[in-house]
Structure 1
Amino acid sequence: MQVADYVLQRLREWGVEHVFAYPGDGINGLVAAFGRADNVPKFVQSRHEEMSALQAVGYAKFTSRVGVCMATSGPGAIHLLNGLYDAKLDHVPVVAIVGQTARTAQGGSYQQEVDLHALFKDVASEYLVDVTVPEQLPNALDRAIRTAEAERAPTALIIPADVQELDYSPPEHAFKHVPSSPPSHSWHTSVPPQEDIARAAEVLNAGEKVAILVGQGARDAADEVHQVAEALGAGVAKALLGKDVLPDDRSYVTGAIGLLGTRPSYELMRDCDTLLIVGSSFPYSQFLPEFGKARGVQIDADGRLIGMRYPTEVNLVGDAKSTLRAILPALRPKPGWRETVEKNVADWWDALRAQAFEDADPVNPMRIAWELSERLPEDAIVTADSGSAANWYARLVRLCGRMRGSLSGTLATMGAGVPYAIGAKFAHPDRPVIALVGDGAMQMNGLAELITLARYHQEWPDRRCVVCVLHNNDLNQVTWELRAMGGAPKFEESQVLPDVDYAAFARSVGLVGVNVDAPDSLGAAWDQVLSADRPAVLDVRCDPNVPPIPPHASFDQVKNTAEALLKGDPDAWSVVTKGVRTKVQEFLHG
């Protein structure tokens, strides 16, 4: 057995079923081992190593298991970085196995020789190791996986090309040899001291208007969050990575918070007198209650991230599920506040529907997300890319029941939507997956990954994987940021995209491709792609001038946008008319 054979054997013992990878001579030994192992775990070939890393992130997000990616030395390792940073910033367990120049050539300016320790020392700061002798395994691989799971972070294992082909020999019961124990997944639960639980309950009971903010750290505590909200008569807002923690069809769930958020979430934070934060490090404190206005309690499993977004009075370091269970018996109900929250939520959904059906040229992008929500299968998984697609996903896509959803939250990298969807399909091949993607992200890397979908879809029991392209020939989010934050008009040289027929490209690689350029065709088009027998691209030509206005646009944002339009923005009149019509609907419904 060679070292490469043992690496795959140990991955199998850990229950790893997929390795998202791209080949290269720096991992030839490992690639050969996949052949000897009958491709178990499965080598999933992307079109680019960055896509492999992002597919591993998507897989890990939708399974809560470690995602594994693999790449060759030099350029392959470099390409992994963006996906690994996405894992680091969103607290996702991913292990990268990376090749390196043979030991005999290291230090000799050899081809593709890169200082991988310098390259990975930040992104894989929790655990990064070179395997230079066979006896380092299995400890090195086990620690990489255990650390990734325990710290919810990326780790990296560097294995030089010649080491991969050495005969494997285990660590001995000897000086300076380090053994390891059999693979096992251990998820700890912890509860803060009882006196801290009592203090938290005291703060929550003292308030009359309680708001709850949940993030992805509350996902396994959805039932407990619901019970706490019921006990306190509270409203619940969701950070973007926590969008699928509670279903959007519950009357007290106000939806997303922040720049991409909803008006009832803004009102919930503006008017509350008590704030409970569960499993979230939501960074935009200007969308939380004014400092000093609300008393605060925070629950988080990571003590490093607690108490740093809002001046919380009681900070509970512990597992969200167990901690909420400990608090529940001491909570007392609050009359009155819940009715206000529920009315705000109902008015908001009415306003969003009216906004989505406003005329646009040719299709209102809000209607794309609205029509999808009307048709989402009960077990669907939704991914979204960064950019304006994230706006409409955050506000209009209603995730209910078993539905899951995610995007690149903290890094907000472009091009994550399609590889996340591919990772989700390998994680749950029996569930439909939908990716909402801007045309900029499709041109960046999404088109190439359609080839990956075409290659693998026949292996999935449910072959539905829909990539919906918001086709507006504009890098739309940056265009709006230029207007609202910098007071600069749209600079067409940087913002306008070449026109591409995305549906035609899909058809050219054997997928379903559907073009939509009229709003009345949209519903039937969604029905078609959601019932297709293979992956599909829904290419919708939509209006770039429908504004993603925040729920509470600041004076500076309005002033900057006005200045940008007055400076000669090529779409000024269209922006003004559509912005006014959109905002009027919000005022009419609440």
Structure 2
Amino acid sequence: MSTVSDFVIQRLKDWSVSRVFGFPGDGIGAFDGALGRAEREGEGLKYIRPTHEELCALMATAHAKFTGEVGVCVATSSPGGFHLINGLYDAKMDNQPVVAIVGQQGLASLGTFNQQESNLERTFADVAVYVQTIVSPQQAQAVIDTAFRTARTRLQPAVIILPHDVQAMEMQEPGREHWVSRSSAVAPSTSITPPESDLVRAAGILNAGKKVALLVGHGANGATDDVLKVAELTGAGIITALRGKQVVPSDVPYHTQQLGLLGSRPSLTMMKECDTLLLLGTNYPYGEFLPESGQARAIQVDLKPEQMGLRYPTEVNLWGDVKATLAALIPHLETKTDLSWQDSLSAAMRDWEDEVAAQAQVEYEKLNPRLVFHELNKRLPPQAIVTCDAGTTADWYGHHIRLRRGMLGDLSGRLATMLAAMPYALAAKFAYPERSVICTIGDGAFQMLGMNELITIKKYMHSWDNPQLIILVAHNDDLTQVSWEMRTEDGNPLWETAQDVQTMDYAGYAELFGFKGIRVKTPEEVGAAWDAAFAHRGVTLIDAYVSKDVPPIPAHITREYALNTAKALIKGDPEEAQVIVDSAKALITEGVERVKDALHIGGSGKEGEKH
């Protein structure tokens, strides 16, 4: 007898799913049993079981980000389903197609306050673009297909709720009866292009621009050559959002990397001086770093129409796939002969790279975290995949990591949830087992659930063609990003009760699993640690004892940033002396003019207020 669960498994395969990230439980028990039968018969899905359902959802989201496929996660009823929610919000907020299959108690239990029975449709209503309980075998086909079609086209998570008794029911092929839908496992095309008239209008704006800027996000994945062609024709500079870092190779001289607190000064210059702005597959959220209203004529290209014209007033919104839209737009573009704008950005970027390198060489009382990332960047092998966590690792990743063509890198973007770097790294390793994967994570995030994933690594590493996986733990016994945000955003001193992270020997912990552990405490040890890690055909954890007082200084120090930090120190920040010393070192390295800007020397009245 073929059950509903057997059908669901086959339907997942029909949708080109080969791997699911799951955690078992009685609410999903019959489905788990079917997965086991299929595996024994050699016709199953690859089932990856990390140590927590939240990790399942984060891995499914990362799988979608790294492969462009639909990520799938599986969990039991109420507690398992609830644990999925953070990872599903990561998918929602970063526009990723994920399908979650969640168990439920039997149909007769619904609404009767039974154990582990809850209103899962209501629970998932906000996070998912489509939520549906399968209540009969004839309904299963349409629900599964709708979930996948919706996730792919809307770039959002969808949730299928599968009651325990329905899982084991005999599957029935849907017929022609009234109310019964017959569906197909055929993906709709998302290669959407706007009308020709809109393309002509957009081209006219770009052709008229003298200082064109491209802001490129993760939604432009797969369109690298098209983006570069547009920049070549229009003489544009290119900024990538943090999640779009992999779209444009770092060796493109007028690619000025990121914008804002994690960005470069040439990117800020580009936004301040451009007269034309083309946004490609990005929902960049920090409007304070975008051009002044009315300064630039703006065009946006995106598959998410509700997010167009949202961050900056646009003149033309092109609803479409970035690659397909640019391919249709390029024939309408004229070739710019004056490349002075682009050349000036390239020169500014060369100077900035020298400045970033100098920042990495500054010596502090403890190890400079910038140096650790700077030395990693120099050693990244071809096709490497780098993940970073929320917190200061994202700062150093943005400032120092340069992804060349073929490399991948990602993080939890708009949600910016802690601990995602570890499940992201594992999802990358499962998707690309032949590649070197480097996870960069802070000690606070590592302690949340990241440490657990060493167990998952130990369980599955034998299946990877290349078992090289490197984990960098930025070890400073502090929730550092929040510590700095308390100072710079709220003018509050560090609150040790909330911010301290219990210290431990992370390298020693890795060694308990048989992995290679390396402790790094001095600048002289950094390069050698990375060399040893990349020479090791296995798992390495680098325990880097870094300073927590190195300021994640943005490309442009605002008056508010400087004054709030001063307020925090005046109120009695316990790290006052070291923060002053280390901030001064960072500012001095960034140049006298920037020190003047931060302290408002030479500025007065209205001119000073502009800062």
TM range (shorter): over 0.9
The answer for the alignment partner of 2:289 in structure 1 is 287
1:2 and 2:3 correspond:
yes
Secondary structure at 2:88 match in 1:
helix
1:128 and 2:131 correspond:
yes
Q: Quote the offset at 1:293 in angstroms.
A: 1.2
1:96 and 2:123 correspond:
no
Q: Quote the offset at 1:588 in angstroms.
A: 6.8
Distance 1:21 1:358 in 2: 45
Distance 1:255 1:522 in 2: 25
Distance 1:376 1:548 in 2: 23
The answer for the alignment partner of 2:334 in structure 1 is 331
Is the Cα–Cα contact under 8 Å of residues 137 and 170 in structure 1 kept in the other structure?
A: no
The answer for the alignment partner of 1:269 in structure 2 is 271
Q: Relative to structure 1, is the Cα distance of residues 518 and 10 closer, same or farther in structure 2, using a 3 angstrom cutoff?
A: same
1:41 and 2:42 correspond:
no
The answer for the alignment partner of 1:145 in structure 2 is 148
The answer for the alignment partner of 2:19 in structure 1 is 18
Secondary structure at 1:37 match in 2:
helix
Q: Quote the offset at 1:54 in angstroms.
A: 0.3
Distance 2:369 2:409 in 1: 19
Distance 2:406 2:424 in 1: 18
Is the Cα–Cα contact under 8 Å of residues 351 and 589 in structure 1 kept in the other structure?
A: no
Is the Cα–Cα contact under 8 Å of residues 464 and 531 in structure 1 kept in the other structure?
A: no
**Aligned mate of 2:78, from 74, 98, 101:** 74
The answer for the alignment partner of 1:307 in structure 2 is 309
Is the Cα–Cα contact under 8 Å of residues 218 and 245 in structure 1 kept in the other structure?
A: yes
Distance 2:382 2:230 in 1: 25
Distance 1:534 1:527 in 2: 13
The answer for the alignment partner of 2:33 in structure 1 is 32
Distance 1:422 1:487 in 2: 38
Partner amino acid for 2:63?
Answer: Y
Distance 1:272 1:310 in 2: 14
Secondary structure at 1:423 match in 2:
helix
Secondary structure at 1:374 match in 2:
helix
Distance 1:122 1:190 in 2: 27
Is the Cα–Cα contact under 8 Å of residues 110 and 118 in structure 2 kept in the other structure?
A: no
Distance 1:190 1:67 in 2: 22
Partner amino acid for 2:180?
Answer: H
The answer for the alignment partner of 1:157 in structure 2 is 160
The answer for the alignment partner of 1:200 in structure 2 is 202
The answer for the alignment partner of 2:578 in structure 1 is 574
Superposed CA deviations along residues 28-49 of structure 1, whole A, max 9, x for unmatched, are 1011111110162011111100
**Aligned mate of 1:114, from 112, 118, 121:** 118
Secondary structure at 1:211 match in 2:
strand
1:513 and 2:517 correspond:
yes
Secondary structure at 1:51 match in 2:
helix
Is the Cα–Cα contact under 8 Å of residues 216 and 241 in structure 1 kept in the other structure?
A: yes
Q: Quote the offset at 1:589 in angstroms.
A: 10
Distance 2:471 2:182 in 1: 46
The answer for the alignment partner of 2:464 in structure 1 is 460
- For the aligned residues, what is the CA RMSD? 1.4
The answer for the alignment partner of 2:224 in structure 1 is 222
Superposed CA deviations along residues 151-193 of structure 1, whole A, max 9, x for unmatched, are 1110000011111111111211222211112x23343322222
Is the Cα–Cα contact under 8 Å of residues 221 and 244 in structure 2 kept in the other structure?
A: yes
Superposed CA deviations along residues 42-69 of structure 1, whole A, max 9, x for unmatched, are 1111110000000111111100000100
The answer for the alignment partner of 2:606 in structure 1 is none
**Aligned mate of 1:416, from 411, 420, 436:** 420
Secondary structure at 1:200 match in 2:
helix
Q: Quote the offset at 1:438 in angstroms.
A: 0.5
Secondary structure at 1:176 match in 2:
coil
The answer for the alignment partner of 2:347 in structure 1 is 343
Secondary structure at 2:172 match in 1:
coil
Superposed CA deviations along residues 374-423 of structure 1, whole A, max 9, x for unmatched, are 01111011111101111111111110010001100000001100001111
Distance 1:190 1:160 in 2: 37
Partner amino acid for 1:160?
Answer: P
Distance 2:295 2:316 in 1: 15
The answer for the alignment partner of 1:380 in structure 2 is 384
Aligned pairs, number: 588
The answer for the alignment partner of 1:190 in structure 2 is 192
Is the Cα–Cα contact under 8 Å of residues 210 and 272 in structure 1 kept in the other structure?
A: yes
Superposed CA deviations along residues 224-252 of structure 1, whole A, max 9, x for unmatched, are 11011111211100111111110112110
Distance 1:589 1:463 in 2: 48
**Aligned mate of 1:179, from 171, 179, 182:** 182
Indicate the larger mover: 403-412 or 258-267. Answer: 258-267
The answer for the alignment partner of 1:490 in structure 2 is 494
Distance 2:561 2:502 in 1: 29
Q: Structure 1-normalised TM-score?
A: 0.98
Distance 1:259 1:214 in 2: 17
Distance 1:146 1:392 in 2: 38
Distance 2:84 2:324 in 1: 36
**Aligned mate of 1:390, from 390, 394, 404:** 394
Distance 1:174 1:108 in 2: 31
Unaligned runs of 5+ in 2: 595-611
Is the Cα–Cα contact under 8 Å of residues 351 and 588 in structure 1 kept in the other structure?
A: no
Unaligned runs of 5+ in 1: none
The answer for the alignment partner of 1:259 in structure 2 is 261
Q: Relative to structure 1, is the Cα distance of residues 537 and 560 closer, same or farther in structure 2, using a 3 angstrom cutoff?
A: same
1:56 and 2:60 correspond:
yes
Q: Quote the offset at 1:533 in angstroms.
A: 2.2
Secondary structure at 1:57 match in 2:
helix
Indicate the larger mover: 569-578 or 438-447. Answer: 569-578
